Amino acid sequence: MTVEIVFETHSLSTDNEAGIATGWRQGELSEEGRRLARRLGERRRGERIDAVYASDLRRAVETAELAFGDAGVPIRRDARLRECDYDALNGGPALEVERESARGGSKSPFRAARATGKRSSGCTPFSPTSLPGTTRAG
């Protein structure tokens, strides 16, 4: 059995438009983001989709619901699909997160990954086969 996993990001949020690094804050889709989410569903219509997995954050759930809510596809929320936690920079300027990340500063969610070759504690380990209702294709 072959399993195909397709990754899509949440659609455009009001924070994206304002240059804010949302991180683990809920965030919400902008008008343009809602339009793009509906377009995602139209683009994927006709494909066999058994399930949609989204992080538990509002912007990801809203993207999934707008794109696939009417398609009869189960939408499952999983916190392990969240983007990185920027700690004190959640909700701060995206440029500051980028600067911290580039210099490996103490607020950087990527600092530990650079220093140790491992994921930072701010990024949740994830394996697609660990999601509820999935099996490993062999």
Q: Could you list the active site residues?
A: 10, 83
- Residue 125: C-alpha distances to residues 41, 121, 128, 131 (Å): 27, 9, 10, 12
Locate 16 and state its tokens: 């994206």
In whole angstroms, give the CA distance from residue 108 to residue 104: 6
In whole angstroms, give the CA distance from residue 15 to residue 21: 7
Sign of CA dihedral 35, 30, 60, 21: positive
